[in-house]
Chain A
């Protein structure tokens, strides 16, 4: 990494917003470059001074109460003596039932919820990869260069396909970190659109069909095959992304 790149990423680094690979690279640079490590020191000192000296203004006493009453004013007035209204102790029962229902639904929903979290991480990984102009660690259009590059960097070997003939050329590979583990990120292109394909082992998961999610304007396609989890994310239109997923699934 050169100084100019470091200057671009140094705030993201000091804010803990860089991915693992680039954090390690930038740290390596700091060891050899007194100018950049001095810059980091000044940023840290400033951040420390700002967070220590800048007052946090909590809401004044009474604001919450005033708000609550204003919010209730907005609600329509309760009609007089409506029939079949429940007593307060009955409401307690209803509340308890609702709570129990909510908790059990919550337990049932647990897996999708973590998947949603993961989906957001995948999108964040995609956005980061484009933001810091560091799409690839191994920029190569040759699948036989990209695949071996992951050897020794990951505890699994991702399948790397080349779909140049179908207009989804491979542009390289990258190490990323998702769901608390290092994962393979393969980068493909479709016209000017970038597709990140994240792959990691999911041995407990049976093969599945493609599931689509849309987050922050990005399309995500997720499926499991032969003990691996696949996530394709891009701003490409969904139809073409499905076509891409179809190609990957035939490998």
Chain B
């Protein structure tokens, strides 16, 4: 009996080692997504911890080559559960309308401050996006993931990701309409 138990433990331990090896390297990506979706430092860490504990439970069912989208799908679901519990998701839209007005007025004339406030405006505009737009922007522009991977994470068809990205970018353009972005590009 003890022999059985110890070999079972060994299997568990090697499985855990395999989990740590394949899934832990994506911790930054998991945290970044959780931080952007929950919007707070403290909750992001809680969500990430919860996601990893969930992930380890489902790990035996994972046989793919790339653990990153697999993990991020779990992180995303955990975030959405958290958002529903905290009912934070519907506030972001209203917040968005006020961003540009408030901050353009407070922008300093000094070039340095101007650049800093431009950056700040862009960050606020992304934060102000509704959560389903925010996640495609973060996954595409910050994680550099393909449409296919993002579709896998969000559990929707690739075509939906394509149109969501287009709408998210149009929304950002509108929020940042007072900034001359082409200048920043040059």
Contact = CB atoms under 8 A, between A and B. Distances in A.
Interface of A: 11-12, 15, 17, 41-60, 63-64, 66-68, 70-72, 74-76, 78-79, 82-85, 116, 124, 127-128, 131
A53 B158 CA distance: 27
A64 B23 CA distance: 11
A49 B162 contact: no
Contacts of B20: 68, 71
The 6 closest A-B pairs by CB, nearest first: A53-B122, A59-B31, A45-B185, A82-B6, A53-B119, A57-B35
A55 B123 contact: yes
B16 interface: yes
A82 B2 CA distance: 7
Contact of B162 (A76, A79, A131): A131
Given A46-B172, A50-B126, A75-B9, 13 more contacts: A12-B147, A17-B146, A46-B173, A49-B122, A50-B172, A54-B138, A54-B141, A58-B28, A68-B24, A76-B12, A79-B6, A83-B3, A131-B162
Given A57-B35, A76-B12, A83-B3, A46 B30 contact: no
B174 to A, nearest CB: 11
Of A71, A72, A84, A85, which is in contact with the most chain B CB atoms at under 10 Å from its CB? A71
Main secondary structure of the interface of B (DSSP, over half): helix
A15 B45 contact: no
B70 interface: no
A46 B176 contact: yes
B53 interface: yes
Contacts of A53: 118-120, 122-123
A14 B138 CA distance: 16
Interface in B27-85: 27-28, 30-32, 35-36, 41, 44-45, 48-49, 52-53, 56, 65
A59 B30 contact: yes
A78 B185 CA distance: 58
B158 A131 contact: yes
Contacts of B6: 78-79, 82, 85
Contact of A54 (B13, B48, B142): B142
B162 A71 contact: no
Interface in B116-167: 118-120, 122-123, 126, 137-138, 140-142, 146-148, 157-159, 162, 165-166
A50 B173 CA distance: 11
Contact of B31 (A43, A51, A57, A68): A57
